[in-house]
Amino acid sequence: MSEIAVYKVPESVAANTFCTEGQYRDLYKQSINDPIAFWSEQKNCVDWFRDPQIIKNTSFSGEVSIKWFEDGELNVSYNCIDRHLPSRANEIALIWEGDNPAESAKVTYGELAREVNRFANVLKSLGVKKGDRVTMYMPMILETTYAMLACARIGAVHSIVFGGFSPDAVASRLDDCQSSFIITADEGLRGGRKVPLKANVDAAIVELAASTGRSVDTVLVVRRTGADIAMTKGRDVWYHDVSQDVSDHCDPEPMKAEDPLFILYTSGSTGKPKGVLHTTGGYLVWVTMTFKYIFDYKPGEVYWCSADVGWITGHSYIVYGPLSNGATSLVFEGVPNYPDASRFWNVIDNFKVNIFYTAPTAIRALMREGEDFVKATDRSSLRLLGSVGEPINPEAWNWYYTVVGEGRCPIVDTWWQTETGGVLISPLPGATPLKPGSATRPFFGVKPALVDADGNILDGATEGNLVLMDSWPGQMRTVYGDHERFIQTYFSSYKGLYFTGDGCRRDEDGYYWITGRVDDVINVSGHRMGTAEVESALVAHEDVSEAAVVGYPHDIKGQGIFAYVTCKAGVEPTDQLRSDLVKWVRKEIGPIASPDVILFAPGLPKTRSGKIMRRILRKIAENDTDSLGDTSTLADPSVVDDLIRTYRVAT
């Protein structure tokens, strides 16, 4: 085995950090040995209207109940805005960089307060009440952040649907959380292309009515491109109309710590996406504290996370974590390669970005374009880099470190999930020596463990399934409307433990190396896709009789989507059908679910009880057919040879 490089904490970083190696060890120890004392103190990173006395009340067994700071009261928008006003009203809260490089804006905390208060009053005037679910289907514009904070201000629960998802996805999420209020924009803009958001919402509402009989009361539309769009009388309203006469002041609603803050849908290994529910107090403490320590954020610095707010990364580390810390957070509407592959680095130069947080898939895509696009830029403002979404391969890590960061910037490789609310495993820049490809060590209060298939906890340097032994404040509380599914999904594999769905290795230094999902979830460009979801989209097509979907290694995306499709009798498997199916899946779910490969299969390998053996399908998709393993339990082993032959012909 080749020597693994270790990058020590640079002295200059250690000299100016919130947390040195020694402090990390002490604080971590305290957080595990005496969580109550630890969190009694750390909860003060946010302002409480009513200070909680009951710190932790959590159980991973039986009915699974997770409550943090339950008798406390607070408001998230107050924490992200009002509490900074005495000292930071004229400091920049948000920098917006448009898809078009000629468009940008800066918003101070004072201006943010005004905009969010106004947005909150608009919501109220349209009848939105505390506890109502507000669906958002938005581009990356400032109003998206205003709307999120406005919901938080009045106690409404936002449910953001990524703007790249299809009308069907919007409809099923509207239905699942019984939401009848939507915020959208006329169109989105990405990479010079327009995204018909409002038209998609209209289609989603038609779909919702057709499939459930339900309707939507209000569609609040923000003008972005000025496109000529259809407005339905009595239902659709323009934000710029209804906001004209509202007041600049709206009192923040005192919320109980365990009141819901938002729902965010994410794919699992079975069924349709689940509504991950995050609540108010614990979530805010978690994102506030992780943001401060992991990015080692100092007042005045410019921070940029390139994610979309439609994902948890955007919720926690574009909006709530940074703003709760009074940081300057950059919101980017565009894509990494438009107008060209220097875009990220130009934005960094223009706004003197100090901390940059992105995904391995973007790094790999830019790496492929060559160093010149990076070297044409200055980047001297950068001092810290971050990675999130999937394991970062050492080549990409090294390129990010040497070419982008010029060997000067530590990389925080942050492991977490939609369900965890914020980062759980990551280096702290001033405390943790780095190893490329490792998320390194647990954050305060996080107790990871590795288990074997029977749930035995494994010691020392080893490999297994990653579980968490105890609750942390940012943890999801339930699957919205389906607590049983919450228990089933996360707490039934191993008794009393939260199962992450990830495989992981721990080395002799206690560093964690995430190896990827061990369930039927594919990680495409850092986004989660359930194989079952893509399969059910495929079999909904009239020519398809059966489909099985697996992930396979993809140079840029990390994993690609490989679909085995069996056609109905009499249907000719043509190239035309193949491209129709790709279009079909894009329409049913969204472009991120597009299969990269469709292999028409005469039959699928099944056990005698009819279970598809995905292990074999994965091997074939990986073109690793020499080690298929035991195929003797198959009902018809010859199916495998047919598949391999078909694969060879097709590739």
List strand residue ranges (DSSP E) for 217-354, in order. 218-222, 236-238, 255-256, 260-266, 274-279, 302-305, 328-332
| Omega cis (within 30) before 339 | yes
Residue 52 or 501 with smaller CB distance to ligand WT7: 501
Residue 155 or 389 with smaller CB distance to ligand WT7: 389
User: Among 253, 251, 252, 254, which Cα is nearest to 71's?
Assistant: 254
Provide CB contacts within 8 A for 547, sequence distance 6+: 534, 535, 538, 539, 563, 564, 565, 566
**Shortest separation between residue 362's beta carbon and ligand WT7, angstroms:** 13
What is the 3 state secondary structure string of 386-453? EEECCCCCHHHHHHHHHHHCCCCCCEEEEECCHHHCCCCECCCCCCCCECCCCCECECCCCCEEEECC
Question: Which burial class, exposed, middle or buried, applies to 241 when counting CB atoms under 10 A from its CB (0-12, 13-18, 19+)?
Answer: exposed
Provide CB contacts within 8 A for 194, sequence distance 6+: 187, 188, 225, 227
Q: Which stretch, 279-287, 293-301, 382-390, 578-586, contacts ligand WT7 (CB under 6 A)?
A: 382-390
Separation of first and last alpha carbons in the chain: 33
Can you tell me the distance from the alpha carbon of 339 to that of 341, in angstroms, rounded to the nearest whole number? 7
Residue 134 assigned to a binding site: no
**Residue from 514, 534, 544, 616 that binds ligand WT7 (CB under 6 A)?**
514
Residue 390 assigned to a binding site: yes
Residue 179 or 523 with smaller CB distance to ligand WT7: 523
Task: For residue 208, give the 3-state DSSP assignment.
Answer: helix
**Looking only at residues 520 through 539 of this chain, which bind ligand WT7 when binding is defined by CB under 6 A?**
523, 526-528
Residue 257 or 466 with smaller CB distance to ligand WT7: 466
**Shortest separation between residue 329's beta carbon and ligand WT7, angstroms:** 16
Residue 190 assigned to a binding site: yes
Binding map of ligand WT7 across residues 413-432, x = CB under 6 A, - = no contact = xxxxxx--------------
Can you tell me the distance from the alpha carbon of 297 to that of 304, in angstroms, rounded to the nearest whole number? 12
476 near ligand WT7 (CB under 6 A): no
Residue 69 or 303 with smaller CB distance to ligand WT7: 303
User: Among 221, 201, 245, which Cα is nearest to 147's?
Assistant: 221
**Shortest separation between residue 176's beta carbon and ligand WT7, angstroms:** 17
For 378-398, give one letter per residue: b (16+ CB within 10 A) or e: ebebbbbbbbbbbbbbbebbb
Residue 139 or 530 with smaller CB distance to ligand WT7: 530
**Shortest separation between residue 642's beta carbon and ligand WT7, angstroms:** 33
Residue 57 or 269 with smaller CB distance to ligand WT7: 269
Residue 159 or 218 with smaller CB distance to ligand WT7: 159
Residue 305 or 347 with smaller CB distance to ligand WT7: 305
Can you tell me the distance from the alpha carbon of 572 to that of 98, in angstroms, rounded to the nearest whole number? 46
Cβ atoms 321, 283 nearer than 8 A: no
Task: For residue 316, give the 3-state DSSP assignment.
Answer: helix
Interhelix angle for 35-42 vs 21-33, to 10°? 120
How many residues form the binding site for ligand WT7 (CB under 6 A)?
Answer: 24
**Shortest separation between residue 517's beta carbon and ligand WT7, angstroms:** 5
**Shortest separation between residue 66's beta carbon and ligand WT7, angstroms:** 18
User: Among 643, 606, 613, 611, which Cα is nearest to 629's?
Assistant: 613
**Residue from 117, 121, 159, 266 that binds ligand WT7 (CB under 6 A)?**
266
Residue 334 assigned to a binding site: no
Query: Would strands 544-554 and 462-468 be described as parallel, antiparallel, or unpaired?
Result: unpaired
Q: Which stretch, 22-30, 246-254, 411-419, 622-630, contacts ligand WT7 (CB under 6 A)?
A: 411-419
**Looking only at residues 295 through 314 of this chain, which bind ligand WT7 when binding is defined by CB under 6 A?**
312-313
- For residue 484, report the phi and psi dihedrals to the nearest 5 degrees: -60, -40
Number of H helices and number of E strands within the chain? 22, 31
Binding map of ligand WT7 across residues 483-502, x = CB under 6 A, - = no contact = -----------------xxx
Residue 349 or 507 with smaller CB distance to ligand WT7: 507
439 near ligand WT7 (CB under 6 A): yes
Beta-bridged to residue 434, according to DSSP, are: 7
Can you tell me the distance from the alpha carbon of 21 to that of 23, in angstroms, rounded to the nearest whole number? 5
**Residue from 389, 442, 530, 573 that binds ligand WT7 (CB under 6 A)?**
389
Residue 313 assigned to a binding site: yes
358 near ligand WT7 (CB under 6 A): no
Residue 451 assigned to a binding site: no
Residue 373 or 513 with smaller CB distance to ligand WT7: 513
Residue 192 assigned to a binding site: yes
**Shortest separation between residue 480's beta carbon and ligand WT7, angstroms:** 16
Residue 528 assigned to a binding site: yes
Residue 133 assigned to a binding site: no
Cβ atoms 518, 501 nearer than 8 A: yes
**Shortest separation between residue 518's beta carbon and ligand WT7, angstroms:** 9
Can you tell me the distance from the alpha carbon of 361 to that of 62, in angstroms, rounded to the nearest whole number? 39
Q: Which stretch, 477-485, 510-518, 534-542, 593-601, contacts ligand WT7 (CB under 6 A)?
A: 510-518
Residue 502 assigned to a binding site: yes
Q: Which stretch, 3-11, 39-47, 287-295, 509-517, contacts ligand WT7 (CB under 6 A)?
A: 509-517
Structure tokens at 214: 């339900």
Residues of the shown chain interacting with ligand WT7 in the complex, contacts defined by CB under 6 A: 266, 312-313, 388-391, 413-418, 439, 500-502, 514, 516-517, 523, 526-528
The annotated binding site is made up of: 190-193, 313, 337, 389-391, 413-418, 502, 517, 525, 528, 539, 541, 544, 586
**Which residues are annotated as part of the binding site for CoA?**
190-193, 313, 337, 525, 586
